[in-house]
Amino acid sequence: MTGHPSTQPPSDPASHSSTAPGRVIDPTTQGLYARLCRVLDRQRELLSSLMEMSPHQHAAVESEDPESLIEVLGSRQGLIDELTELEPEVATLRREWAQRADADEVQRRAVRERFDGAALLAARVASADSRHLDELKRQRERLSSELASLARGKNASRAYEPPGAAPGARFQDHQA
């Protein structure tokens, strides 16, 4: 192992049901293990999908293409919503898992790798989003500066207009 948690899913939870000879794992623990693995694998899939969208988001930000950016952000929102819905279940399962003394080391390692992999992916997504946000802020500041410069230029050109140069009344009453 390289020291970094893998973003690839560990092997199938059903393959980790073997225990040391004479040791019995409560079926409730087995069920919790399988459920936790399924939820964590789904979380990883969603985070991976967000990472796959990052280059598209980056391109939209860099090219200052608001339509493409809105499209990417709209696609991401469904994934983020699902991740948000999963979070309470993940927290509950994590607490339940921590209380299980009868889980074997293979299962504990598989769960830990899943949690570590999800954390790594979440950190990558957050880092990419932070970079994109910083770029959007720079673009906003640049546009704000350009708009202020245009306003100053317009005001300066008005200063050079002759005093009576303002358009007069368009309609006038004349008596014949």
- Which tens digit of pLDDT belongs to each residue from 54-112? 999 989 888 888 898 899 999 999 999 999 999 999 999 999 999 987 888 999 999 99
Domain assignment present for 74: yes
Domain assignment present for 142: no
Domain assignment present for 40: yes
Number of domains in the chain: 1
Domain assignment present for 122: yes
Domain assignment present for 6: no
Provide the token pair at 90.
Answer: 């993940």
User: How far is it, in rounded angstroms, from Cα 21 to Cα 19?
Assistant: 6
Domain assignment present for 147: no
Structure confidence at residue 72 (pLDDT): 92
Domain assignment present for 113: yes
Whether the CB-CB separation of 64 and 139 falls below 8 Å is answered with yes
- How much is the pTM? 0.66
Domain range for residue 96?
Answer: 26-128
